[in-house]
Every structure is written in C-alpha cells, then in structure tokens.
Amino acid sequence: MKERYPIEQLARMSDEEMIQRQFDLRNLRLLTVLLIAVALFRLFGTIIGAAEGQVDAARIVSTLVNVALNFILVLPLRRVRRQWTARWPVSAWILWFCAAQYLWFHIPPTQPIWTIGGLYALVMSRFRLARTRVLLLHLFYFVTTALAAWIIPVNKAVDTILSLVVVTLMIVAAMFLQLRSTRKARIAILDEWREPLQNARDQVRMRDELRYAREMQLAMLPDRAPQLDWLDLAGVSIPAAEVGGDYYDFFPAEDRVAIVACDVAGHGMASGLVLAAMRGGFTILRHSMTSPAAVLEQLHDLVKHSSRQRMLATACVVVIDRTTRKATISSAGHPPLVIRRDSSAQRIELFAPPLGVRLPISIREQTCDLAAGDVLVLHSDGIYESRNESGEIYGLERLEQTIATQPHGATAEALRDAIVRDVESFRGSAAQEDDVTVVVARFRGDA
C-alpha cells in the first residue's frame, strides 16, 4: 500500500531519503511478521522436540526467552510503523534482529539446528538493506556457522564439513539475491515516487513564490496614511487570493494630497505584476498629480504595453487641495466615488473605459467643493459585488446607507472599519470572491 505524506514533507525529501523511507517501512512490516513467525516456529519445534525427548533444558529456556522477546517487540514496532520518523534506526534494528535470531538458532550448537542456517539466510534476504550492511550481515552468518561447526563433536566431522559447504553456498546465494532484489526495489521506488516528489517540490516552490509575491504586494501598500491636521485619511486592502489585484496609495505634496485606487481585472500573479507596474507609474508621475486625467491617460499606455495579453485595470485619482478646498476627481472605469455631506451620501460617477483597452480613450475630470466634515470614499468592486450565502449582492445602495448612517464626527479609520465590518457581516460564511479595498478621506478644513 502506497504511503501518504504531507506535501511539505515530500518536497523536503531527496531521492535517497525516499528510498530509505520506503525500505524502512517495508522492513518494519516484514520484521513484525517474522518476529511472530520465528517465535511460533521455535515454540512448536521445541514442544515437538520435548515430546520426543530430544530437547534439553537449555534449549527450552532459550526458546521461551526468544518467544517472549519477539512478542514484546511486536507492539512497539506497530507504533513505530505508524509514527515513522528519520530518528528511528530501522536498519540497525534489522541487523540486530537477523544476527540475534541467527545466533539463537546455534545455541546450543547441534548440527540439526544450525544446518537450517542457509534457509534462514534466504528468508532474511527479503529485507532491503544497504550493500555494506548486507555484506556485513552475511559475513556474520558465515562466521557463526563456522564456529558452530567447529564446536560440533569430531565423530561427525565429515557431515559437518559437507553441511558447512552447503550452508555457505546458500548464504552466498542469499547475499546475491538480497543485493539484486534491493537494487530492483530502488529502481521501482524511484519510478513510483519521482513524479510525486517533483510535483510536491513544484507546488511548494510555487506556494513560496506566491507568498513572497503577496509580501511584496502588501509592501507596496502604504504602512499608514499621512498624518495631516486638515485631512483625515485611512485605507485598507484585503486580497481574496495570495496575490491580489487591488492597490491604493497616498501622494502628499505641500497643501494637497493625491489619493489613488486601482483594480486590475482578476487576481493572482499576473494582476500583481501589472499593479507593480502601475505603482511605479504613479510614483514617477506623482509630481503631475495636479491633473489626474493626464496621469491616467499616461498610465493607460503603460498598462496597454505591460503585457502581451490584454490586461484591463480600473483606476481613480482624487486630488484634494487644502487652499482651494476642492477635490478634483478622475476615473477610468473605477466604481463610483461616494461623497458624504452632513447625513446624506451620493455617488460621483465618471464614465470612461478602463486602462489597457485597445481603443483610444478620453478621461474626464470633475471638481467639487469641500466643507469641513465632508467625507470621500473610494472603493473597489469587491465591496458592492460581495455576495452572501443566498447569492444576494451587497450593492451600492447599501454602501451609501452604511456611509450615511455613521456618526458625523467619526474618524476616517472608524468609517473604514465600519464599511469593512458591514460587508463581512453581510457576506457571513460565504467566501470572499474578490479583493476588497476601501479608502476614506475626511476633510477637516483649517483649524
């Protein structure tokens, strides 16, 4: 039966580690069976020999000790097989078992017992061991057999020598059989596990790359909003996948602040790469933010040529000027900005195609006056397109209602958190299908 491993464990394994792992698991199963089989064989053999009067007290004691030890070892071996780790020296256990059982067959050294040593060596050749361990084990078999033959009485010298030759030939045959079967088993394990090992390494590598890309994307977002005495700012972006497609940023300059919000179609690695290019474009054009429409038109060319495949991105730029107390708004296919005055909220929609289309585009600007306490909310479509368990859509109307019902003196951070909480409460246990981004600007005016 093929063992199952966590993907992280597979990815860390080398080919040799996997081979050793499979050898050890197979050896442990075989060892459990042999412990029971050898114990029963010795027990029945001793019982039969005792009934015929051919077994002395030393043989009976030796058999009982061997049977007890074998059965004692079975239980921990089953646990080791279930909870295998590289810390268990399985190969060493196998060597000790084979050597101890072989030696036990030769105590006391009587010819009818030790002549089955060759058969024992053939049975033990089922274990999969490294070449040096196989050679060492079979050398031990030969030395033990030779010593037992030397101790046997001289009047059986001819039979002893003949039996020793036969057993030696069987030990040599068992050694070559074990080496050959181990080599074939190595090839079979590599054929079986090469693809799963490579797949696991690829999956872990891709997961790590996505994690690094996510960290890089989150690093592109501002650590915190600029702290200004005339404008209260807050923002958050919650990706739906490892790498999201939303981006927002603040670009303060003297008595004005430019707020940008973008959403690349979809989410994932491709969206993250386009967002990185857009962020670079915004950074380069930060000194041109007095004209949001001109900035978006230049970014349109950047997005259009940043990928061979057509990648579309929506963007909204809002420039808030402290001196003129005005907000200049420009949008390219982005969801409508929501502005709250007093206890009412309304949308500001500027229709234009998204960035990256193959057709010529024309982007407009709109200017609106600001009074102390006015709030501007930029958001991505992940807000109003959120669905609950019943498939209902959150909608722009509910977003406007959520913004309008917040306390008039609430901070930008409190407004942002209230919107996110309301969306999550509406969604319930349903999965987040798209990135969620909210940016709130509350105009304080001059102190």
Q: What is the CATH number of the domain that holds 261?
A: 3.60.40.10
What are the backbone angles phi and psi of residue 397, rounded to the nearest 5°? -65, -45
**Structural domain harbouring 115:** 7-204
The reply to whether 132 falls in a domain is yes
Same domain, 91 and 189: yes
Same domain, 264 and 152: no
Q: Let me know: does 251 contact 238? Beta carbons within 8 Å.
A: no
Residues paired with 234 in a beta bridge = 440
Number of domains making up the chain: 2
Report how far residue 317's alpha carbon sits from residue 315's, in angstroms, rounded to the nearest whole number. 7
Determine the 3-state secondary structure of 36 from DSSP.
Answer: helix
What does 259-326 look like in DSSP terms, one character per residue?
EEEEEESS-SHHHHHHHHHHHHHHHHTGGGTTSHHHHHHHHHHHHHTS-SS---EEEEEEEEETTTTE
The reply to whether 214 falls in a domain is no
Same domain, 231 and 198: no
The reply to whether 220 falls in a domain is no
pTM of the model: 0.60
The reply to whether 216 falls in a domain is no
Compute how many other C-beta atoms are within 10 angstroms of the C-beta atom of residue 196. 15
Same domain, 182 and 230: no
Query: pLDDT of the chain along its 447 residues, tens only?
Result: 456 777 877 888 888 888 888 888 888 778 777 777 777 776 776 777 666 666 666 666 766 776 666 665 655 555 554 454 444 567 777 787 788 777 776 666 555 555 677 788 888 888 888 888 889 988 988 888 888 777 765 445 556 677 778 888 888 999 999 999 999 999 998 888 888 888 888 888 877 777 776 676 667 788 889 999 999 999 998 887 656 678 899 999 888 999 999 888 765 566 667 777 788 888 888 887 888 998 898 888 888 876 656 778 899 999 999 999 999 999 999 999 999 998 889 999 988 888 888 877 888 999 999 999 999 999 999 899 999 999 899 999 999 999 999 998 899 999 999 999 999 999 988 888 888 899 999 999 765
Q: Which two tokens stand for residue 56?
A: 């002395």
Same domain, 37 and 98: yes
Q: Let me know: does 327 contact 266? Beta carbons within 8 Å.
A: no
Same domain, 186 and 251: no
The reply to whether 273 falls in a domain is yes
The reply to whether 209 falls in a domain is no
Q: Let me know: does 240 contact 432? Beta carbons within 8 Å.
A: yes
Same domain, 30 and 172: yes
Report how far residue 85's alpha carbon sits from residue 439's, in angstroms, rounded to the nearest whole number. 51
Q: Residue 304 CA to chain centroid, in angstroms?
A: 35
Single-letter code of the amino acid located at 54: Q
Same domain, 50 and 110: yes
The reply to whether 416 falls in a domain is yes
Same domain, 311 and 408: yes
The reply to whether 36 falls in a domain is yes
What does DSSP say about strands 326-332 and 256-264: parallel, antiparallel, or unpaired?
unpaired
Single-letter code of the amino acid located at 225: A
Same domain, 304 and 420: yes
Same domain, 398 and 334: yes
Same domain, 84 and 190: yes
Residues paired with 238 in a beta bridge = 436
Torsion over CA: 7, 12, 15, 20 (sign): negative
Measure CA of the first residue to CA of the last residue in the chain; give whole Å. Answer: 76
Report how far residue 236's alpha carbon sits from residue 135's, in angstroms, rounded to the nearest whole number. 67
